Amino acid sequence: MTERNAIEARNVVKAFGQGDSAVRALDDVSVEIREGEFFTLLGPSGCGKTTLLRLIAGFEMPTEGVILLDGQDITYLPPNRRPVNTVFQSYALFPHLTVAQNIAFGLEMQGKPAAEVRARTDEMLALVKLETMANRKTSQLSGGQQQRVALARALAPQPKVLLLDEPLSALDLKLRQAMQIELKRLQVETGITFVFVTHDQEEALTMSDRIGVMSNGKLQQVGTAKEIYTRPKNRFVASFIGETNFLTAEAEGGKVRLGSGDVVNFDAPAKGTVTLTVRPEQLRLGPADEAGAIAATISNLVYFGTDTHVHLELADKTELVARVQSPATGDAGFERGGKVGLRFAPGALQIVGD
């Protein structure tokens, strides 16, 4: 079965300002978002992710490039003529209306028959599990409940694409984590394409079918959470997605020589100076005198409950962090100033570009 694209951006540029002072919020961005997938635009503030979302919604027009929806050019189509709805960081609910009236509002504006509006509203109330609160004013709801109303209102007209601009940022940690699961459930149950914008890597990794990592107006990498985490294309992606260590090494003949002088088997695709990345959980710690291990000194220990971060220093003062599981009782058997032998898990080392 051939996959269809719900949204496609082709060579999109968005510049603010004129001449030499113009700022390119988006710089030649091309991306395909598949029909029925949960796609996340991830990156730090100012990277261009919200600008791209606004171009899809029709709130901004591109300086260059084309936006397609279901293969149709919608680049200059007004927002009200696009089969797209948006859930903003601020839910913008009507405080004087009930939950049911808020959900029904968009359908009524479309002139749908009253019976259809009631049926669809009831369906949405059930979907977001707010049937018992249909007649409450939205001002009487918690933040998580208000967010569910906003989602139901946006989903009620059955848009082809739902755009979500950091809708979880105002929630506390526990509620945010619960709503991540809820959002993914809603997306799967409705089959609607979700395009989600966030700077939170946990949100992206938890919910997304695919992630587009952005920086400085450019799309750095697109892939599944596993692809981006285990095979980052460059230093920015490696450092932004999860925690990682970087090592400078000299590659040649199926081995790399670290700055500490230690040699590690690694079939590098290039020769000369390379930058290696390795995740903290992929470092293996053993006895200091273990044959073939890299000598390291423990400079610090940070306890995180389920695991402990062991800060290490190699012979050349290179700093690394290893993540080890905390034992159920006692400590992990490490102490500051102690010596350990370090190994890399098979396949852990990756070369990244600048």
pLDDT in tens, 212-228: 999 999 999 999 999 99
301 CB-near residues (< 8 Å, 6+ apart): 308, 309, 310, 311, 332, 334, 335, 336
β-bridge mates for residue 249, sequence order:
258, 274
β pairing state of 245-252 and 255-258: antiparallel
Q: Which residue has the higher pLDDT, 172 or 315?
A: 315
Sequence-separated contacts (24+) of 25-28 with Cβ below 8 Å: 25/51, 25/217, 26/51, 26/52, 26/55, 26/62, 26/217, 27/216, 27/217, 27/218, 28/65, 28/218
Tens digits of residue pLDDT in 267-314: 877 789 999 999 999 999 999 989 889 999 999 999 888 899 999 999
Intervals of CATH 2.40.50.140 along the chain: 243-352
Which among 201, 164, 199 is positioned nearest to 184, based on CA atoms?
164
Q: How far apart are CA 166 and CA 140, in angstroms?
A: 23
Q: Yes or no: is domain 5-230 CATH 3.40.50.300?
A: yes
Tens digits of residue pLDDT in 42-90: 999 999 999 999 999 999 999 999 999 999 999 999 998 999 999 987 7
pTM score: 0.89
Residue-level pLDDT at 330: 60
Q: Which CATH class is domain 243-352?
A: mainly beta
Intervals of CATH 3.40.50.300 along the chain: 5-230
What's the whole-number mean pLDDT along residues 8-16?
Answer: 97
Q: Cα separations (Å) of 148 from 94, 114, 141, 145, 342?
A: 14, 23, 10, 5, 48
Residue-level pLDDT at 44: 95
Tens digits of residue pLDDT in 328-340: 766 667 899 999 9
- When the pLDDT of each residue in the chain is averaged and rounded to a whole number, the result is 92
Residue-level pLDDT at 2: 61
